Amino acid sequence: MPYKEIRADFEHLRKLFIFPESEDRFIEFGQMILNMLHSYFREKGGIHSSVSLKSLEEMFSEISIPRGPHLLKDIFSEIEEKIISNSVKVSSPYYIGHMTSAIPYYSIFVEMIIAALNQNQVKIETAKASTFVERELICWIHRLIYNFNDEYYNSSIQNRNVSLGSVTLDGTLANLTALLIARNKAFPADGSFRGISEEGIAEAYKYYNVERSVVFVSRRGHYSIDKINGILGVGTRNIIKIPVDKYNKADVNLLKHEISKIEEHNKAGGARIKIIAIVAVAGSTETGNIDDLYEIRKCAESCGAHYHVDAAWGGPVLFVDQYRTLFRGIELADSVTFDSHKLLYLPLSMGMVLFRNEKDPDFIKHNSTYILRKDSYDLGRFTVEGSRPFSALRPWVAMKVFGSEGFRLLFENAFKLTKFFQKSIINSSCFELLNIPELFIINYRFIPEQISDFIMETASSDSRGYDAEKIIEINTALNDINKDLHRHLRHEDNSFVSRTVLESTQYHGQMIVSLRAVTINPLTDDNILSEILLEQQKLGEMIFRDYSVRIDSIIKKPR
């Protein structure tokens, strides 16, 4: 402990629970915190702070709970020195590596309100106005996606026996809620069978003579889908991952083929395979592409599967009328995931799941004896979560601050940034574009000018001219170079893009190390993007020197 413990005294501690008589003292403290945050954000310098992970390990290695109380001012100084200054500046315009970006500054005041009211959304007794605010928000997003008529919304917005959707703690839980409903709907109560949730999976399979149930998702689906199928007892190996086409969209023909194989199997008699759900992606986290939601919907319909669209990331783009066509078919999804901490530019974390059919949430409804009353206003009747904060206030306020018009402007700007970045890569002689961005994610890699012609020519030749072995070897070397480059970028710490590994569409599925930029921050501009790329080019060229002999020998190797 760098500072002193004080004597524990009940009256002193009790005072911490009272809002100070005069707001002055309260403001005084608030001001201290605001100054602290302010100077952190205005400070120039790196994104990650230069402290090593090793030093952080040492910094936070006190193994016991402090015994006595400490003074607030000492604790806040410790926070400033050890935590704030060693945080990742995710809001920096040079940080274009992840889905977390800048948040509007007023939103940190909204957090104060959420915490101060401390409403628990599980139950009307602990959440009064906030219950109705949450329902209003859900209605807005439902309408954005499904666009039913006014009459429907007027009669359901505050109808406590209708659930248009749920606020969840994050996107994973929104997907979990949707797939839980899908699973329960696939094995409903029937005769002596009381439904899969009550009887368990093994009994459900027995009753319905099913040997296996499956979930379809694109290979670009979020990893939470795997996790969820493990949790739900379906089994991760029963996820059928559909390969993507060169636009990183699930290949609908391959999906149809897989479905027809299952249908044939089922026709043959004996235990059946049940398709629980088909999951489409609207803005994949890796490449930002949107599946063909309309065509996939037809597949789901044909086989009677629940149709879920994971629009955790891309959903808010629906605000922009001109881009709605990208999402054609989302209005036919049985359920949709939509996050507020990604493209709504809000602090972590809150997800939502919306339902086309208001009866679907009944498949997970619990009016658990004495805590949640059946015909009450209790939102907890339909959620996987229990206690839950009033996070709905965040997007509710954001909708008013920006309006759909305001979000349109933010996304138009993000589209411009994406186009600029994409063009810069295409026009450069030392980068290769690895996906065709639909939203705001660009995958690319550094390729030294000296070999870029060679690899492009060799890769694009016809089957006779295509030298698979050489391409594989060169790509392996390029993977190493790009990993090195990313390491150097982290070390320089002037900007941040993320690194991923993509199953390539242009290199016959070879795994390609890729740099990944998410160009959504309203504070980022074309100059910043150019600066970022220039640094990557310079570092890449420097790194290449260590690889030139290796690459040269690959190129010169006879076939």
Q: Closer to its own copies at the Cβ: 194 or 550?
A: 194
Interface segment toward its own copies; rule CB under 8 A; list 38-46, 249-257, 430-438, 549-557: 38-46
189 counts as binding its own copies under rule CB under 8 A: no
Q: Does 45 bind its own copies (CB under 8 A)?
A: no
Question: Interface with its own copies includes 43 (CB under 8 A)?
Answer: no
- Does position 263 interact with its own copies (CB under 8 A)? The reply is no
Query: Per DSSP, what are the bridge partners of residue 139?
Result: none
16 in contact with its own copies (CB under 8 A): yes
Of 42, 44, 464, 545, the one binding its own copies (CB under 8 A) is 42
Contact 494, 538 (CB under 8 A): no
d(CA 91, CA 472): 38
Return the number of the residue (29 or 547) whose C-beta is nearest its own copies.
Answer: 29
Residue 388 C-beta-side C-alpha neighbours within 13 Å: 29
DSSP class of residue 81 equals: I
Should residue 86 be labelled a site residue for its own copies when binding is judged by CB under 8 A? yes
Contacts with its own copies in 102-121 (CB under 8 A)? 102-109, 111-120
Which residues, 402 to 461, sit near its own copies by CB under 8 A?
A: 402-406, 408-410, 412-413
- To its own copies, the closest distance from the beta carbon of 65 in angstroms equals 4
Please report how close the Cβ of residue 148 comes to its own copies at its closest, in angstroms: 10
CB of 366 to its own copies, least distance (A): 6
493 forms part of the interface with its own copies (CB under 8 A): no
From CA 294, how far away is CA 300, in angstroms rounded? 10
Asked if 20 interacts with its own copies (CB under 8 A), we say yes
Alpha-carbon gap, residue 399 to 406, rounded angstroms: 9
- DSSP for 295-349? HHHHHHHHHT-EEEEE-TTTGGGGGSGGGGGGGTTGGG-SEEEEESSSTT--SS-
Size of the site for its own copies (CB under 8 A): 185
Span 191-230, contacts to its own copies by CB under 8 A: 194, 196-203, 205, 211-213, 222-224, 226-227, 230
Nearest approach in angstroms of CB 62 to its own copies is: 6
Residue 169 structure tokens: 């703690």
Give yes or no for a contact between 352 and 167, defined as CB atoms under 8 angstroms apart. Answer: yes
- Classify the C-alpha dihedral 225-230-234-238 as positive or negative: positive
Q: Which parts of 340-448 are beta strand (E)?
A: 351-355, 431-433, 441-446
87 near its own copies, rule: CB under 8 A:
yes
Span interacting with its own copies, options 246-254, 440-448, 453-461, 521-529, rule CB under 8 A: 521-529
Q: How far is the CB of 184 from its own copies (least distance, A)?
A: 8
For position 132 contacting its own copies by CB under 8 A, the verdict is: yes
The 135-154 contact track toward its own copies, x by CB under 8 A, reads xx--xxx-xx-----x--xx
User: Is there binding between residue 384 and its own copies (CB under 8 A)?
Assistant: yes
Which residue, 164 or 252, is less far from its own copies as judged by CB?
164
Closest CA to 23 of 116, 118, 119: 116
**Region of 69-77, 290-298, 438-446, 452-460 interacting with its own copies (CB under 8 A):** 69-77
Long-range contacts of 15-20 (CB under 8 A, 24+ apart): none
Contact set for its own copies, span 315-354 (CB under 8 A): 319, 339, 341, 345, 347-349
Ordered strands of the 498-503 beta sheet: 431-433, 441-446, 511-518, 498-503
What is the SS3 assignment for 519-543? Answer: CCCCCCCHHHHHHHHHHHHHHHHHH
- Longest Cα–Cα distance in the chain: 85
Residue with smaller CB distance to its own copies, 378 or 432: 378
The answer to the question of residue 400 lying near its own copies (CB under 8 A) is yes
Instruction: Give the count of beta carbons closer than 10 Å to the beta carbon of residue 364.
Output: 20
What distance lies between CA 80 and its chain's CA centroid?
29
Piece of 86-94, 293-301, 424-432, 550-558 that binds its own copies (CB under 8 A): 86-94
Residue 138: what residue type? I
Binder among 234, 277, 281, 489 for its own copies (CB under 8 A): 234
d(CA 38, CA 93): 16
Least Å distance, CB 85 to its own copies, is 8
